[in-house]
A and B are shown apart, each in its own frame.
Chain A
Amino acid sequence: MTKVTMTVNGRQVSGEVEDRTLLVQFIRDKLGLTGTHVGCDTSQCGTCVVHMDGRSIKSCSTLAVQAAGSEILTIEGLARDGELHPVQAAFKAHHGLQCGFCTPGMVMTAVDMINRYGGALDEKTVRENLEGNICRCTGYHNIVKAILAAAAEMGAGRQAAE
């Protein structure tokens, strides 16, 4: 067993893990943060996406020991003071989900792409950047709408703050 320490959603956490323990198992089973899902378990579906040091990664294809010392952000870390993150609010407003299983990965992916592209996001870029996230309910249209709306709102918020 190896002791790993990392920052998850702003809080320093530690735990004893086997070296083969996946980051997603550490997050779900050790930390009890079950918002991060396991869908395919073969690195294709993107429901397990979290941010590691500010970039989206697949927590089912990363070992917990690899993530030691890093900053992890999961879906539970997005809302502030009971207020949904703008991306979460946009998914709600635009009905960007049906069953909801893929939603945590979709939202974390959306936040990552908005971080990278900001107001320059267009529909084509959003669809390209959803390459690693599979949704079997919505047909993606409302997910794309939600991400574009959130990007516009967050861009406007940034301008207002400047």
Chain B
Amino acid sequence: MYATNYHRAFSVADAVRLKGSGDETKYVSGGMTLIPTMKQRLAAPSDLVDLRHVAEMKGITVSGATVRIGAATTHAEVASSAEIKAACPALSHLASLIGDPHVRHMGTVGGSVANNDPAADYPSAMLALGATIVTDRRRIVADDFFTGLFETALHDDEIIVAVEFEAPEKAGYSKFPNPASRYAMTGVFVAKSAGGVRVGVTGAGSDGVFRHSGMEQALAGNFSPDALSGVTTDPADMLSDLHGSAEYRANLVNVMARRAVAAAT
């Protein structure tokens, strides 16, 4: 790892101020992606601003149907939260599948969403739940937030403070994990709400997480796995790498979507 300078923030305002500390300052929360990436010298931030001690970014609140999860809430906290289990058990399930217990104790919702790894779990849920990404300066709907592989609508110094969504009537998540990394080779989150059905797909798209409009239309009239039997996914839009070809992933999208619908509660 190249040398870096560490700063610890205790408030969001503090963090934004500290972001100006060096030429290439990065925010770090759990660090479960960033620290390994720095060890491999694939990232070399001059400065790090630690967000783990910012109290206003922590915690889960459910008021009525509105769920708000602080960005610095860990995957383990989301997975074990009684409030999340009651409001959206599919999201608890998703959090419980990320990495391993040690990663879940450190990694955070905000970190996952801000990094927008094309194989990360949370972005699919954010899209399918029609979540709002709340930053230190504005509210961004998920449809406008994820803009490509590792790309988001965030400005350089902008911080995700929380994510918010309305609890769906039903939702399900199913992922086919890479046997070694446990990242999603395909993960599908389906959510049914009064406004219709939304389907978010991660790990498969060549341009990162995406909504599957064909599946959303098919499920709108008939929310059952069978409704998806005739829906196809174009391999031209899929990732292809040593873990699986585009055609393989296109098929996995359908299989995972059927399982997600079958599991939806």
Which of B1, B6, B103, B180 sits near A66, CB closer than 8 Å? B6
Interface membership of B4, Cβ < 8 A: yes
Interface membership of B56, Cβ < 8 A: no
Shortest CB distance A39–B (Å): 13
Q: Are B105's CB and A19's CB within 8 A? A: no
A43-B36, A66-B50, A66-B52 known; A20 vs B1 contact (CB < 8 Å): yes
Contacts of B103 in A (CB 8 A): 43, 58, 132
Q: Are B101's CB and A109's CB within 8 A? A: yes
Contacts of A20 in B (CB 8 A): 1-4, 38
Shortest CB distance B16–A (Å): 20
Which of A19, A46, A62 sits near B4, CB closer than 8 Å? A19
Q: Are A57's CB and B102's CB within 8 A? A: yes
B5's nearest neighbour on chain A, judged by CB, is A19
Q: Are A63's CB and B6's CB within 8 A? A: yes
How many Å lie between the Cα of A46 and that of B1 in the bound state?
A: 20
Count residues on chain B whose CB falls below 8 Å from chain A CBs.
Answer: 29
How many Å lie between the Cα of A129 and that of B2 in the bound state?
A: 33
Interface membership of A159, Cβ < 8 A: no
Contacts of B4 in A (CB 8 A): 19-20
Interface membership of B35, Cβ < 8 A: yes
B177's nearest neighbour on chain A, judged by CB, is A131
Interface membership of B70, Cβ < 8 A: no
Q: Are B101's CB and A112's CB within 8 A? A: yes
How many Å lie between the Cα of A66 and that of B31 in the bound state?
A: 10
A66's nearest neighbour on chain B, judged by CB, is B50
A2-B6, A61-B31 known; A131 vs B1 contact (CB < 8 Å): no
Which of B6, B50, B99 sits near A132, CB closer than 8 Å? B99
Contacts of B102 in A (CB 8 A): 46, 49, 56-58, 109, 132
Contacts of B3 in A (CB 8 A): 18-20
19 A-B pairs within 8 Å (CB atoms) are namely A20-B3, A22-B1, A42-B36, A44-B180, A46-B100, A55-B76, A58-B102, A61-B39, A63-B6, A63-B31, A66-B6, A66-B28, A66-B31, A66-B52, A109-B101, A109-B102, A131-B99, A132-B99, A132-B103
User: Nearest 3 pairs between A and B by C-beta?
Assistant: A132-B100, A131-B100, A19-B6
